[in-house]
Structures are given as structure tokens and as C-alpha cells.
Chain A
Amino acid sequence: MDISRRNLIKTTLAASAAAAAGLTIGCKKKEAPQTETSAQAPQATTTAAATPSTVAVDNWVKGVCRMCGTGCSIYVGVKDGKMVAIKGNVDSKTNTKGFLCIKGMNIWKVAYHPDRLTTPLIRKNGKLEPATWDEALTLIETKFKEFHKKYGYDSVAYYGSGQCTTEESYTFNKIWKGGFGSNMMDGNPRLCMASAVAGYLSSFGSDEPAGAYEDIENAKCIFITGSNTSEAHPILFRRISSYKRQNPNVKIIVCEPRKTQTSKIADLWMPSLPGTDLAIFNGMAREIIKNDWHNKEFIARHARFTQGDGSQAATFDEYIKFIDKYTPEYVEKVTGCPAASVKQAAEWFAKSGATLSLWCMGLNQRSNGVWANNLIHNLHVITGNIGKPGADSFSLTGQPNACGGVRETGSLAHLLPGCKPVTIEPWRKHVESYWKVAEHSINPSKAINPKPGFPAVKLFSSLGGENEADKPVKAVLISTTNPAQTLPNLNKFVPNIKNAFTVVIDIFPTRTAQLASVVLPASFLYEKGGVYGCSERRSFLTQKAIEPLEGTRADLWIACQIAKRMGLEKYIAWSNEEDIVKMAEMAWNDYIGCTANTEKTLAGATYKRLKESTTGVQWPCPSEDHPGTYKRYVKGMDPIFDDPKRYGYNIPADADMFFYGRPDGKINVFMRDAEPKASEKISKEYPFLMTTGRVIEQWHTGTMTMRIPETAAAHPNSYIEIHVNDAKKLGLSQGDMVKVESVRGENILPVRVVNMTLEGVCFVPMHDQKGNRMVNFICSDVVDATSGEPDYKVSAVKITKVSGPQKVDDRYVVTKAELDSPTFS
């Protein structure tokens, strides 16, 4: 690279970094916001010698990082049709100042990785063999039609992802629920967010948070529980830690079984044995009320006390009586959290003035995950910490489009667009009418099935071959996810996936692809574009930056081809469009029309607006001139108050805050017992509680991050963390190999001796693809009775030494060559 070009690149990048840092000195203008040609690119006067010209990059194309659930906004630099640079979006409301983490910086390595799948594959005589797109799609069409005819419409399932674009998920949802008349479709958010959905629905009557990420910088107390934010949402953690650094009086409380990096910024770490933290939440509520720290006015106006399923009202006194047993001392005995910490946390939570709770899988992936969510909401209601800046009960998502793509489009077995249950007849009729199901459906019922389909674990339990009479689901189309690694108790599900007619859409070989009947090579996000909606109700458009890798196709194109072949060409109007960007726009328009009269309305977020916006749009956003909504349920901020009848709600004219998702406008405060009755318990034979989770460098099953050299190198293999005292008892040293065994399966893992967890608690990351290190062979497949979400966080295991240290840092990933030999060992 010659010096002038090098200087030009440095100048361009530095100008952007200066804007991110808030440095205006020497900068002639702020960076242009949109897809911009280099002629419009920022020109800066800097001390680095350079003469701006038009050659650094051809275009900076706006998009979303897809490497975790935060939803960071980026620009991809394109030169001669290739991704050559990446930078944060300084206008972003998500990754403020345009910060990016290591995973985001390395997206390009995924796009150009030699492991990318580029040819459809069909299994013939046990081997996956290259095929044309037409051959693969014809086989899918033939099988789907055959199964529909032989076994009924529910015999063909779809299993999607919080990484598909909203347009893709909506299209598959429309095909299945309206076109096929089958609700036999679910998605991987069932494994991570379903308890949060059910928690919001049961407490508030409407899914997703009231607030937004900007509550972080308005909070006086931040209560982080069931979330290792520093590793799972690093950019959000940067926001929190930066805010704390600038505002040392802000209290940070971290409630987690492990003393993770997140707790390093905490004023208080509240340890808890896995599965027991509901006792802490009830204990904090008791302490708050006992000390008269509760908000009586807020309770009187906005709380409805209830027990059981919420159908029966209760009184405040009954609630007080219910939680009375959760004394700090009792909580300490049950959870391992010191009584004094419960008292301190209760005081800070109630008295700070504005408390923000953040949680993630630690609460959701539990047998009592919905109840855990309810109890966090309880704390916010009794202290009045909702509806004001800095105060919210905020569930973080694990994927960048779990909210927008799956929850909001209703792409789960029990939902319809607008996140409304299929069981609600008026809404079902609306969707039927909007989709013209009676006219187009290939199902003779010509209607959406009012009965929910199977949630993920039940779906894969019911999946099997034609010779398995007890398995009613015979085929599954899996997009952008890897259930042969992510489902719990894998020994139970791997044969089912293998025996069924399984179609996998992915960009890389995966454990699931190894079991598939057909593998379809997908385009990467930046090769197709599409909308992602993140945790804070914000939808953001990624624009197509580069052409798809030769041989690959966008999931939306695949969905449309299936629709056409199944006789739904007119039903999915965009299936006749050639241009993927236009297809996506048509799908988006259909979606926002369908949900325009719901509280999740994005009617004002037209594609044109999304293309122009550098911040995205937060729903409710009913019209193009509406700015989007930072706070729900507050008059003057939430547009639902302007015309409630349009959305099917009744809001009293004088209400300044109203939780319209529930008929009485009040939030349910539940009496939830803390004991995780369904969770696995330790025993003499299985004396350790194992919990699982993420590490910062890896994401999910490592399909992408294990192919990025530096993230793979940072965590090349799974391991088990155990407390130093437990290690002593077991005679284990650093690096020793152990067998970790539950009643379901086992792993062979190296030991990491730590002092940042409770005794008796061990931790294993979830990203490793090596068969005998895939932790989900061990995990419990008990699910939350309401949400259907598995209890990944609580499994009883035993640990026995196998050998001294062995070299296992092999950065293992499933290769193309191994697609035909799925050795899960």
C-alpha cells in the first residue's frame, strides 16, 4: 500500500473516531449519515498528513452488527465490491459514540471465510452430495407436499432464529400459519427469551420493555441479575461502566451465582445458588415494604395484586403476608446471599430515585423463568420504578433480532404478528383477513389454526422419521440456527433431527447440517440486507453492502421459492420479485401494515425512513412524522394514548400513566413461590450444580466466532470452572481433565480452578462444537411450564478426574469434510 493511500485511509478513519470521541477541533464537518460515496465522505483536518481523495472506500454502508443481542450500529466500508473496513455509527443510540467490540470488528472474517457453504447439498445414500438449487428445492417441495398429504399440515415444521431478518421471519410465519394453516413453527428465541415474553405478557399484558437503553444514563441504581453483561453484551457494559465511572454515586448491584467481570464495577455482588434467586427478589420486596420504602401512590394507582395464574385478585395485605417468610436470614439460608446484602440491595433499589433492572438468560433459562421475570417486575411496581427516566424493568435479548424478528412478528408457535396469541380470536380473524387466508391458503380449513403449535423442545421431541408412529412431525426447515448443538439433553434430540426430513439453511457447516437431509447455503446479512429489531424496541435497517457469495441465496429468496412451489405465489406477493432488496421492502411493508393497529406499530417506519435513518425507529411509531417512542405507557410519550381505540384499548382521558395491555390498566404483582420445584436437585451421586453461559469472544455455538482466529484463539475450547475448595476436595489441579456427568450425558473437559463462584457451583461455556465438550449433552431438558424455555442454568452433575492436563485447545469447528461424518465424540 502506498503512503498516500495509507494516509488517506488513516485520515478517513480518524475523522470518524474523532466524531465518536466528541472531538470537533479540526474536523470540518460531522460524518454524513447515510450510505455515502467517498466523494461525500468525511474530510478532516488532522495532524496526520493526508490529502483526501475519492479512493479510501467507495461506500460506507449502514448496518447492524449481528454478533450478539445488543444491536450495535455500524458502517461497512466497501471498496471495489468488497468489505474493506468497519466503523461504529457515531449517531447510534445503541452503541453510543460508535464503539464496537472485538466480535463486531471481525465480521468481515465471517463474510470471506473459506468454510462458507456455496452449494446446495442433498443427502443420497447417507452422504451429502452437491446439487443444484432447483434439485434441492424440488426435493423440499416434493417432501413437504407428500407429508402434508400423508400426515397433515402439522407434520412439516419451521424452526427459525433471532438472527433471521424481520422480513424473513415474517415471510416464513405467513407461509406456515396462513399458507399451510399450521402453527408448527417455532424459533430459537424459545430457548432464550420465551420466559421474558411470558413475563411481560403476564405482568404488563404486553411484551417487551417500557424503556430503552438510554435509561442506563438516567438511572441512579442499576440492578443486574441473571446477566453477565460484560461478556454477553460488551458494548452495553461499556455504557454502564463508563456511566458508573463518571457517576460514582450511582449504585450498581449484580446478583449472579458467579462473580463475573460484570461484578467488577458493582457496589454490591449478591451471590446466589443457581435457581434460587427468586427468594432474593421476594426478600428484597419484603425488606422494602417492611422499611416503608415502597411507593404507596404508585401501588394504589398502578398495581394489581394477584396469585396463581393472575385471574384472581388479591390484596396488598395478602401480598405482604405471602412474602413475609422471605426474611433476609431465610433468604441467606436458601440462596447463599448474605442477609445484609439483601437489605442493602433493597434499600438502594427502592431509595435511589430511578432503578433500572437488566437481566438476560440467567433468569429466562430456568424452570421458573417466567416467575423470575414476574418477581423483577414486582420490585419495580412496588417501588414505582417504571415510566420515568432511568427506571425500567428491562430484559436484554440474546440475539440481535429476537425481538423484532421473532417476538414482534409472532414467529413462535403460539403467536401471530404483533406478538398476540393465536388463541385470541379477534386478532386471529384480523390476521386471516389481512393475509387473505381464505383466498390463498392451501389448507382446506382456509383459516389460521387457533391451537398453538409445539414450542421448541416439544417440537424436536415430536420430530422423527416416517417409521416412527409416535413422532407426528416428519419434516423441519431450520434457518440460521443450530439446534443439534443448542437444544438441551442432546442425546434425546440428535436422532430425531437425523431421522426426520431436515432442511438446514446456514452459511457454515454446523452440527445440525451434519444431520440434515438437505443443506442450503445462505447469504450473509451484509450480502442481502434487512431489518433487525433489538431489545429496546428499535428497528434498524442493514442495507445490502456487497453481492452474495457465489452459490448462496438469501433466506428470503429461499422462503419465496418454497412459497411459489407450494402454491402460494400470489399469497406471498414478493415471491415474484427478482431483486432481494425490493423483496425485503415488500415483505416489510406487508408486516407493518398487518401490525399497524397494535401497540407494536411500526407503520411510521417505512423502508424509505429506515434507509435514511441513522438511529432506527422505536415502536410504537404510528406515522412517518412520529419520532418513535422512548417510554411506553406514559402520556405525552407513548402515542397509544393519542388514539387508544384504534389499538383496541380504553385509556381514561385523565390517565398520565396507564398499562393498557391489561384491561384495568394495572400491572400484575404476582405472589410467586421461590422454590424451583421442577429444577434438578443435587444428590449424593450428583453433588454439583452446573450452570452454562457465554464468554465474551464467542457467541452461541461458535458457528461464526470459532472461525474468527482471534476469538477462537481466546477461547479455543470449552472447560469447567470449579471453586478452588471443590478442586481441593476432588484432588484437582489447573488443567486436569475431568468427566462431567449428569443423568443425561457427559463431557470430558479441562478444569479451570477459580474463586469467583460459589462452592458447589460449576460453570461450562456453551460454544464448543467438539462432541465430548458440547455441554448440552449434559443439560436438563426440563422446561418452564408457561414459556416452554429449558432450564439450562440448573443441572446436577458429578465431576471425576480422568487424567492430568491434556492439550485440547484445538479450536474445533465442523468442517465441510465432516458433514457426512457426525461423530459427536
Chain B
Amino acid sequence: MIIAASILYFEVNHYDDLISLINKYKNIEIANEDKDNGKMVVTIEAENNSDIEKLEEVFHNCDYIIDFTHHAFYFGDEVEKAELTGVIPDFDIKKPFSKKRIL
């Protein structure tokens, strides 16, 4: 399991929409917020890469979410697994600047 602490920047007049969106996900908790300035800190629990990736896709496709960025990660369990198995776990954190070059 990994735990991420991430920051959402959103359009202030869409606060209720954002709350509705976040409430759909059991693995996201709102840790702190500044409604007036459109900032929110969330924590995300993820068992595997696709958990976070799917969330990011949703957030990045949301017009009223201006930015979504990770600040801190906990990966202690993954270190244990890596040391025990000799395999580096393959969880994805989506690139902050994804690129679409191909026509």
C-alpha cells in the first residue's frame, strides 16, 4: 500500500461539485481545505498503481479542477516487499506533465 498526500486546486464556485466527486471514492479523504481560495489537501490510499492512475484521470478531466499535485508519499510497505522479494513494485504515479505527441 502507498499513501499519498496531494493538493487539489479548484474553481471556488465548484466546491460542492468537488465534494460530490470526492465522496464517490472511499480511498480519498479530505484532510484540509481553503474553500475561499480553491485549495484542498487530500490523502489517497492505493493498493496498486491503477487506483491512483484512475483517480488522476478523473481529476485531470474535470474542468473545475485547475491542478492536482502530489506532495508526499509513504511507501514503507513497498520497501519491505522489495527487500523480501527482490522485486521493485510497479505502482504508477501519473506524470505531472503527460505528453501527447503522436498525431
Residues of A within 8 A of B (CB): 1, 6, 9-11, 13-18, 20-23, 25-27, 44, 46-48, 56, 77, 79, 82-88, 98-102, 105-106, 108-109, 112-114, 230-231, 234, 237-238, 242, 245, 261, 696-697, 707-710, 713-714, 721, 724, 734, 752-756
Chain B interface residue number, banded: 35 or more
Closest B residue to A86 using CB positions? B73
Contact with A along B39-83 (1 / 0, CB 8 A): 101110100010000000000000000110111111111111011
Question: Bound complex: CA of A105 vs CA of B49, how far in Å?
Answer: 14
A9 with B74: CB separation less than 8 A: yes
Question: Bound complex: CA of A15 vs CA of B32, how far in Å?
Answer: 8
B-chain residues with CB within 8 Å of residue A754 when the two chains form the complex: 101-103
Asked if B12 is at the interface (CB within 8 A of a chain A CB), the reply is: no
Offer 12 A-B interface pairs, CB within 8 angstroms, sorted by A: A6-B3, A10-B5, A17-B5, A25-B33, A27-B32, A87-B5, A102-B93, A237-B97, A261-B99, A713-B90, A754-B103, A756-B101
A16 with B70: CB separation less than 8 A: no
B-chain residues with CB within 8 Å of residue A46 when the two chains form the complex: 31-32, 41
Question: Bound complex: CA of A12 vs CA of B42, how far in Å?
Answer: 12
A25 with B32: CB separation less than 8 A: yes
Residues of B within 8 A of A (CB): 1, 3-7, 29-34, 39, 41-43, 45, 49, 66-67, 69-80, 82-83, 86-97, 99, 101-103
A-chain residues with CB within 8 Å of residue B86 when the two chains form the complex: 114
B103 with A13: CB separation less than 8 A: no
B83 with A112: CB separation less than 8 A: yes
B7 with A20: CB separation less than 8 A: yes
Given contacts A14-B5, A99-B71, contact A47 B103 (CB under 8 A): no
Question: Bound complex: CA of A753 vs CA of B103, how far in Å?
Answer: 7
Question: Bound complex: CA of A15 vs CA of B5, how far in Å?
Answer: 9
Closest B residue to A11 using CB positions? B31
Closest A residue to B87 using CB positions? A114
Task: Give which listed residue, B79, B93, B95, B96, contacts A108 with CB less than 8 A.
Answer: B79
Task: Give which listed residue, B5, B66, B82, B93, contacts A13 with CB less than 8 A.
Answer: B5
Question: Bound complex: CA of A754 vs CA of B100, how far in Å?
Answer: 10
A-chain residues with CB within 8 Å of residue B92 when the two chains form the complex: 710, 713
Given contacts A710-B90, A710-B92, contact A98 B32 (CB under 8 A): no
B88 with A23: CB separation less than 8 A: no
B88 with A113: CB separation less than 8 A: yes
B96 with A10: CB separation less than 8 A: no
Task: Give which listed residue, A16, A234, A245, contacts B5 with CB less than 8 A.
Answer: A16
A-chain residues with CB within 8 Å of residue B71 when the two chains form the complex: 13, 16-17, 20-21, 87-88, 98-100
A85 with B72: CB separation less than 8 A: yes
Most chain B beta carbons < 10 A, residue from A14, A77, A708, A714: A14
A-chain residues with CB within 8 Å of residue B82 when the two chains form the complex: 109, 112-114
Task: Give which listed residue, B30, B45, B72, B97, contacts A231 with CB less than 8 A.
Answer: B97
Question: Bound complex: CA of A721 vs CA of B103, how far in Å?
Answer: 11
B96 with A234: CB separation less than 8 A: yes
Question: Bound complex: CA of A488 vs CA of B23, how far in Å?
Answer: 54
B76 with A84: CB separation less than 8 A: yes
Closest A residue to B4 using CB positions? A13
B-chain residues with CB within 8 Å of residue A242 when the two chains form the complex: 67
**Which 4 A/B pairs are nearest by Cβ-Cβ distance?**
A84-B76, A87-B72, A14-B31, A13-B5
Task: Give which listed residue, B30, B74, B75, B79, contacts A47 with CB less than 8 A.
Answer: B30
Closest A residue to B9 using CB positions? A21
Question: Bound complex: CA of A454 vs CA of B96, how far in Å?
Answer: 41
Question: Bound complex: CA of A445 vs CA of B74, how far in Å?
Answer: 56
Given contacts A44-B32, A98-B71, contact A710 B49 (CB under 8 A): yes
B32 with A23: CB separation less than 8 A: yes
Task: Give which listed residue, B42, B69, B79, B90, contacts A84 with CB less than 8 A.
Answer: B79
Question: Bound complex: CA of A180 vs CA of B69, how far in Å?
Answer: 50
Given contacts A17-B6, A25-B33, A237-B97, contact A710 B91 (CB under 8 A): yes
Task: Give which listed residue, A23, A100, A713, contacts B41 with CB less than 8 A.
Answer: A23
Closest A residue to B99 using CB positions? A261
B-chain residues with CB within 8 Å of residue A83 when the two chains form the complex: 79
A704 to chain B, nearest CB (A): 12
Most chain B beta carbons < 10 A, residue from A17, A46, A112, A708: A17
B7 with A21: CB separation less than 8 A: yes
Question: Bound complex: CA of A153 vs CA of B58, how far in Å?
Answer: 63
B62 to chain A, nearest CB (A): 17
A708 with B73: CB separation less than 8 A: no
Closest B residue to A754 using CB positions? B101
B88 with A709: CB separation less than 8 A: yes
B88 with A17: CB separation less than 8 A: no
Task: Give which listed residue, B72, B83, B96, contacts A102 with CB less than 8 A.
Answer: B96
B-chain residues with CB within 8 Å of residue A25 when the two chains form the complex: 32-34
Closest A residue to B82 using CB positions? A112
| Additional 14 contacts, C-beta under 8 A, given A21-B41, A86-B75, A713-B92 | A10-B43, A14-B5, A26-B32, A46-B31, A77-B74, A82-B79, A82-B80, A88-B72, A105-B93, A109-B82, A113-B88, A114-B88, A238-B69, A709-B91
Question: Bound complex: CA of A106 vs CA of B4, how far in Å?
Answer: 13
Most chain A beta carbons < 10 A, residue from B5, B7, B95, B103: B5
A-chain residues with CB within 8 Å of residue B73 when the two chains form the complex: 13, 85-87, 105
B70 with A105: CB separation less than 8 A: yes
A102 with B102: CB separation less than 8 A: no
A-chain residues with CB within 8 Å of residue B67 when the two chains form the complex: 242
Question: Bound complex: CA of A17 vs CA of B103, how far in Å?
Answer: 37
B96 with A17: CB separation less than 8 A: no
A22 with B79: CB separation less than 8 A: no
A17 with B33: CB separation less than 8 A: no
B-chain residues with CB within 8 Å of residue A77 when the two chains form the complex: 74, 76
A22 with B39: CB separation less than 8 A: yes
Question: Bound complex: CA of A84 vs CA of B77, how far in Å?
Answer: 8
B-chain residues with CB within 8 Å of residue A697 when the two chains form the complex: 95
B79 with A101: CB separation less than 8 A: no
Question: Bound complex: CA of A724 vs CA of B102, how far in Å?
Answer: 10
Task: Give which listed residue, A23, A707, A714, A721, contacts B95 with CB less than 8 A.
Answer: A714
B-chain residues with CB within 8 Å of residue A14 when the two chains form the complex: 5, 31-32, 41-43
B-chain residues with CB within 8 Å of residue A79 when the two chains form the complex: 76
Question: Bound complex: CA of A22 vs CA of B9, how far in Å?
Answer: 12
Question: Bound complex: CA of A781 vs CA of B69, how far in Å?
Answer: 41
Question: Bound complex: CA of A27 vs CA of B34, how far in Å?
Answer: 12
Question: Bound complex: CA of A23 vs CA of B39, how far in Å?
Answer: 8
A10 with B29: CB separation less than 8 A: yes
B9 to chain A, nearest CB (A): 8
Closest B residue to A27 using CB positions? B32
B84 to chain A, nearest CB (A): 11
